[in-house]
Amino acid sequence: MLNLKNIHTHYGKIEALHGVSLNVAQGEIVSLIGANGAGKTTLLMTICGDPIASEGSIEFLGEPINEKSTSEIMRSGISIVPEGRRIFPGLTVEENLQMGGFFMSKEDYQKGTEHVFSLFPRLKERINQRGGTMSGGEQQMLAIARAMMSTPKLLLLDEPSLGLAPIIINQIFDIIAQLRDEGVTIFLVEQNANQALRLADRGYVLENGLLVMEDSGDNLLANDDVRKAYLGG
């Protein structure tokens, strides 16, 4: 479904990704783990076309997307829950969701809200509250709900567990599993390697802008090097 070949990304003169190739198949959860500064977020953002890859190709559903603008890419069936959630703090929950479903017809928007409210009943209670006044966990739920409004085929998640209480993290990972069961393909970037790999069908390990390992989630969990570097023993 998503195919990256030899992706290089630069920030000015600094090369952050040195030729990354990976693929995500329909219906999979693929996790990407790596340390701070390895280039995980850069990789996700490169898929979104911001920044644009300086070399290599990105295909989504068989079509090259690395020539398209960010807004075109995000309208072609990809959604992102970005690092730090980035909900619109001054907009209400409802308005945030309306922004997520900006290009939808009234009926589709209606269906979309019913769907996300079934995933996150708490958001329905807070529909008129401003996003910025909610707790971190609620903001993360809103960010996921907003991304799901456009009924994406591929959902990109950038550290959805960051800064959240363990009980909320479990809820978020339950929701991710549920979305996969509904047929959404998921590409998950996490520092919380343990939970990310347990959930994933496959995983990649990114180090200093290069993929150093690729395997099934279970194999990576059992791998000694991965355990030492990312799982604390």
Given the rule CB under 8 A, which residues bind another protein?
48, 50, 70-72, 74-75, 80, 82, 84, 86, 88-91, 95, 98-100, 102-103, 146, 150
Shortest CB 163 distance to another protein, Å: 9
- DSSP string covering the chain, please? -EEEEEEEEEETTEEEEEEEEEEE-TT-EEEEEE-TTSSHHHHHHHHTTSSPPSEEEEEETTEE-TTS-HHHHHTTTEEEE-TT----TTSBHHHHHHHHTTT--HHHHHHHHHHHHHH-HHHHHTTTSBGGGS-HHHHHHHHHHHHHTT--SEEEEE-TTTT--HHHHHHHHHHHHHHHHTT-EEEEEES-HHHHHHH-SEEEEEETTEEEEEEEHHHHHH-HHHHHHHS--
Looking at beta carbons only, is 102 or 133 nearer to another protein? 102
Looking at beta carbons only, is 42 or 223 nearer to another protein? 42
Shortest CB 136 distance to another protein, Å: 9
Distance CA 170, CA 165 (A): 9
Shortest CB 214 distance to another protein, Å: 27
Shortest CB 78 distance to another protein, Å: 9
Looking at beta carbons only, is 27 or 90 nearer to another protein? 90
Distance CA 76, CA 98 (A): 18
Looking at beta carbons only, is 164 or 205 nearer to another protein? 164
Looking at beta carbons only, is 131 or 203 nearer to another protein? 131
Shortest CB 36 distance to another protein, Å: 17
Shortest CB 47 distance to another protein, Å: 11
Looking at beta carbons only, is 189 or 199 nearer to another protein? 189
